[in-house]
Chains A and B, each alone.
Chain A
């Protein structure tokens, strides 16, 4: 493993990644301190409906006269939380599948990989819709649905890493020492596979946020929470008269997702320096 200073030295070289990091930190701070810095209820009708930006309200109001800025700020909490929690769940499932398949091989590998391939082939967004629709939308079902469609890529990657690591000398040595399999997997192979897994997971947060916004755009969001995708969905009805109402939340999603993607690339440069392509 490389030290933190070395990590930062490599990460810093990627200007985009540094910029992404600053943007993400800003978004996280805003999300965490939302009730303090902007204590406006995103569901409260505070002004005249469909008022333009830079008037009484910095970003205007929506069709029901709710403050759009408040929606964005409070929506950041939901988007980030769903993105992160869903990614953690997906990573956990994917690592378990991939580790078992890669370490044991044989029939276990066959069965687990057939399941993984099945989930990779089917139209994932439709699966997510089906899950959320049947179990009625709530933050839990959305997280489960996003995790259910995201874990296969982690499983594939983890399996590939385990396949190359399981026959290396240090693993053979531990096995010869009589160390139990689970200790070898968790204590010795997994840490070596971690850099790649971290990179894929960080990029997955971005995809999860995109999926969540798509779901809530379709009206499959948690009805008690204001989210960015939902705001786009609501504003769609007045696209002809007030296009900016659609543009603003969508742009926010873009910026957040872009920042996370840039960070993912920076992590890749810093954690897997040997992979850096030109």
Chain B
């Protein structure tokens, strides 16, 4: 990983980008491709690890494995459960059971939700887009606002603005997200009647085209703000510290000596180079955002994976829970890969070896 001090030796990233010739770009592209395919292969151990983890959980849980998979509230008939015992080879030795289970998971056969009477994978894929929209807008909000607030408070260090931002970040960092979401509903939906309190669309509005997008966006504001708050605090503090560090570097002094306005120095020179730690951490925290979707989607009735987790919890649908856990972990690894590729674009000096 690069630390801001690495920029000292080689100058700002954006200057070097122009010096790249076509040949170098081609090499970089092929390197990036190899890197991407190698990273994709890393998915296999992750899937294996989670499958093993789920397998251990099923067998440690109280009751027969078939009961756990079928959901513990008697949604499946006795024949269903007997069928499960056959399917998973529960009369066979444990290692064979393990191989059967892992084989199923590796082919993305996540089984059947007896509670919802649908295949687990179908249920998950149905809910996935909503969660992705929510997570991406929350990440964008946290990173975008975090960068702006971080730069603003670093450039106005020691002033009231700086103090306000710092105190705000401390407060946000300590706020339980689910509670904050509920308070947002009280204030913006119930008292002011400005924004919808839940769901993803206005029911039976029949909107299409731009009106549809606007409707979703309106429903998205409160949930993504709720999800972003905690991370916004982290990124603001990180960006502020990173900016202050970059301010000490030679190229900033040079930019000032050239007579550039303080604004240009801060945003065009310092901020661009202070960005990397924030983007790195945000990329690593995608998994936390996904986890947070459970609380946020439950509060706002957002029809995504997190809400599905809550439903599965209420109905004691263990198989569905494990399926969601697996798919969302795979997703996080994929998004991390994407983030790594984006760093390469942000900073050409990062080579993917």
Residues of A within 8 A of B (CB): 16, 114, 118, 120-131, 133-136, 206, 210, 213-214, 217-220, 229, 232, 236, 239-240, 243, 246-247, 249-250, 253-255, 257-258, 261-262, 277-278
Q: Does B266 count as interface, using CB distance less than 8 angstroms?
A: no
Which residue on chain B has the smallest CB distance to residue A214? B295
Q: Give the chain A neighbours of B58 by CB distance below 8 A.
A: 134
Are B328 and A253 closer than 8 Å at their CB atoms? Answer: no
Binds A, one of B29-37, B87-95, B180-188, B212-220: B180-188
Q: Give the chain A neighbours of B343 by CB distance below 8 A.
A: none
Chain B residues 147-184 with CB under 8 Å of chain A are: 157, 170-171, 173-180, 182-183
Residues of B within 8 A of A (CB): 45-46, 49-50, 57-58, 60-62, 68, 157, 170-171, 173-180, 182-183, 185-186, 190, 241, 244, 284, 287-288, 290-292, 294-295, 298-299, 309-310, 313-314, 316, 318, 321-322, 324-325, 328-329, 332-333, 336
Q: With A and B bound together, what is the CA distance between A246 and B190 in angstroms?
A: 14
In the complex, besides A124-B291, A214-B295, 16 extra interface pairs with C-beta distance below 8 angstroms are A16-B170, A122-B325, A123-B328, A126-B325, A135-B61, A213-B179, A214-B178, A232-B179, A232-B182, A236-B182, A236-B299, A253-B176, A254-B175, A258-B171, A261-B174, A277-B241
Are B325 and A123 closer than 8 Å at their CB atoms? Answer: yes
Are A125 and B288 closer than 8 Å at their CB atoms? Answer: yes
Q: With A and B bound together, what is the CA distance between A67 and B61 in angstroms?
A: 36
Are A125 and B294 closer than 8 Å at their CB atoms? Answer: yes
Q: With contacts A123-B328, A135-B61 known, is A250 near B322, CB below 8 A?
A: no
Are B178 and A232 closer than 8 Å at their CB atoms? Answer: yes
Other-chain contact of A126, B57, B244, B291 (Cβ < 8 Å): B291
Q: Give the chain B neighbours of A122 by CB distance below 8 A.
A: 50, 287, 325, 328-329, 332
Q: Give the chain B neighbours of A219 by CB distance below 8 A.
A: 313-314
Are A258 and B170 closer than 8 Å at their CB atoms? Answer: yes
Q: Give the chain A neighbours of B171 by CB distance below 8 A.
A: 254, 258
Q: What 3 pairs across the A-B complex have the smallest Cβ distances? A: A125-B291, A250-B179, A123-B291
Are B318 and A258 closer than 8 Å at their CB atoms? Answer: no
Q: With contacts A130-B325, A210-B176 known, is A218 near B61, CB below 8 A?
A: no
Other-chain contact of B288, A124, A206, A247 (Cβ < 8 Å): A124
Other-chain contact of B321, A133, A213, A243 (Cβ < 8 Å): A133
- Report the minimal beta-carbon distance from A158 to chain B, rounded to whole angstroms: 18
Q: Give the chain B neighbours of A123 by CB distance below 8 A.
A: 287-288, 290-291, 325, 328-329, 332
Q: Give the chain B neighbours of A277 by CB distance below 8 A.
A: 241, 244
Other-chain contact of B284, A120, A129, A130 (Cβ < 8 Å): A120
Q: Give the chain B neighbours of A120 by CB distance below 8 A.
A: 284, 287
Q: Give the chain A neighbours of B290 by CB distance below 8 A.
A: 123, 126
Are B294 and A129 closer than 8 Å at their CB atoms? Answer: yes
Residue contacts A-B, CB under 8 angstroms, 18 given: A121-B46, A121-B336, A125-B288, A125-B294, A126-B324, A126-B325, A129-B294, A130-B325, A135-B62, A206-B174, A210-B176, A217-B295, A219-B313, A236-B182, A236-B299, A250-B179, A254-B176, A257-B175
